[in-house]
Amino acid sequence: MNKGVLYVFSAPSGCGKGTVLTEIRKRLPNLKYSVSATTRAPRDGEIDGTHYYFVSRERFDELVETGGMLEHATFCGNSYGTPKEKVFECLDNGIDVILEIETKGAMMVKESYPEAVMIFMLPPSIEELRSRLENRHSETEEVIAGRVHEAAREIAMAENYDYVFVNDDISEAVDTLYQIMTASKSLTKINQDLIKGVLAKC
Amino acid sequence: MNKGVLYVFSAPSGCGKGTVLTEIRKRLPNLKYSVSATTRAPRDGEIDGTHYYFVSRERFDELVETGGMLEHATFCGNSYGTPKEKVFECLDNGIDVILEIETKGAMMVKESYPEAVMIFMLPPSIEELRSRLENRHSETEEVIAGRVHEAAREIAMAENYDYVFVNDDISEAVDTLYQIMTASKSLTKINQDLIKGVLAKC
């Protein structure tokens, strides 16, 4: 059995990440979506264990200290992290896993698990991103300014990913992500054993 | 207009490279197939300017010395090379180009043009490759032994490519190559300008 592929997916806040991921999960029903742990408060409609594991600061820090997090980062004062055990259990059982995380956490995963397939979704432009955030009407001007600043910082990290693509049209973005995820199964970095296997039969 | 993508495609002799490429060109009619120059004698049915430019040793060496080759290599006593001008003209005009070359030449292209998308097709096993070569009935046992030895050397180079996949079933191999070629348009290494463009609008 082949090992599962670990996909790391990042996109600035307001880029349409949630919508694209909902669609991709319909197309790839066996894909396991890793649920992050976070110290931030739930937003309206967010369910514990589905969108995030909402945990206390104490519990979060305990997981970090005992090596139980694949990655963790603090963003706007809240901490986010990926509990390690569940992810590796899936990969070992041939199940593909997708992590939706921001760039700092993504870089930690890339470092500790280089076989991860790194995918970054870009907004068409920073101005477009600002409009989308404003249209949410859920945040103050100051918070939006902070998010736009953070988005620019994150986009500057995109060059450290394997793939980048723009979400201009949701349907096209989903097609592109699907193509990337399919083709990335042939990336050399996750097929070292395949090459060795062919040579072993010499 | 986006620049064309340069695909470098390698596979050991006897791996079904020709058949897979014929099919991929049907699916991607705008893909330009780079015609190599070679000093080797034409095989039955090979047409000058279509399969290769069959050139003299003198003409080949002149092209190398004047910097007119993107890559060149000698294999089984014959030299092969890619005339540079035509390839870059296509890329500049937004036309994708595929180079079918062996590993030494491929590494030269990767070095001089890092945006090239490097793809390696593997045989299911070395033993399967040997059978395929024997079934051609076109070469002596000694030549086949040499080709198998060369194939093992080439396969050991596969880890330097972006993608690897096995040609076990022609139709599946063509599908995989098509997916790779499509998705590789989102590889970060050929989208540096896209990232800069999004940031420039800040």
Give the Cα separation of A66 and A155 in Å (integer): 31
Torsion of CA A129, A132, A138, A143, to 10 degrees: 20
The mean pLDDT of B190-199, rounded to a whole number, is 92
- pLDDT tens string B19-75: 999 999 999 999 999 998 999 999 999 999 988 999 999 999 999 999 899 999 887
B79 compared with B1, residue with greater pLDDT: B79
User: Cβ(B182)–Cβ(A135) under 8 Å?
Assistant: no
pTM: 0.88
A7 touches chain B (CB under 8 A): no
Give the Cα separation of A48 and A35 in Å (integer): 9
- pLDDT tens string A110-131: 998 999 999 999 999 998 888 8
Give the Cα separation of A131 and A108 in Å (integer): 31
Rg (CA), chain B: 18
| Angstroms from B185 CA to nearest CA on chain A | 9
Answer positive or negative: Cα dihedral of B26, B32, B33, B39.
positive
Alpha carbon of B190 to those of A112, A161, B2, B40, B183: distances in Å? 25, 12, 10, 34, 12
A 92-131 residues inside an 8 A Cβ radius of B: 120, 122-127
A184 touches chain B (CB under 8 A): yes
